[in-house]
A = this chain, B = another copy of it.
Amino acid sequence: MSSQLKPGTSNACNITALSLACEVNDVLRDISPRWKMQVLHKVASGTKQFSTLKHAFPSLSDQILGKRLSELVNDKLVDKIILKEKAPKSIHYMITDKGLELLKIIDDLHKWGLKYLSA
């Protein structure tokens, strides 16, 4: 019983799978949602509040921004600092060490992408 697998989860983690498999699947899955890494980058560069993030990405809706931020908090890529609980709330987001290390790699990915744009 309970070899139930959430659909979409990496299920190739068997004997024949090599070292790179399994976790890389999951990491890619975690970082690829639209806007997520851009929001992380913005938070890292000092944009701490919901409303200022909102203005930074005019074509990103409140709903998706909220979703991405809660994902980032869940992933421990950013910390949520509650300065004032009751409305109008005051909340700051701050990038964690884990998030910073990820951003470095994302930046490499970005550079790689730029390098091969012409090719």
Contact = CB atoms under 8 A, between A and B. Distances in A.
A10 B59 CA distance: 10
A18 interface: yes
A37 B24 contact: yes
Contacts of A105: 105, 108-109, 112
Interface in A21-40: 21, 23-29, 31-32, 34-35, 37-38
Chain A, interface size category, equals 35 or more
A21 B57 CA distance: 10
A106 B20 contact: yes
A114 interface: yes
User: What number of copies of this chain does the assembly contain?
Assistant: 2
A98 interface: yes
Contact of A45 (B18, B45, B98): B18
Nearest to A117: B23
A16 B56 contact: yes
Contacts of A117: 23
A14 interface: yes
Nearest to A113: B27
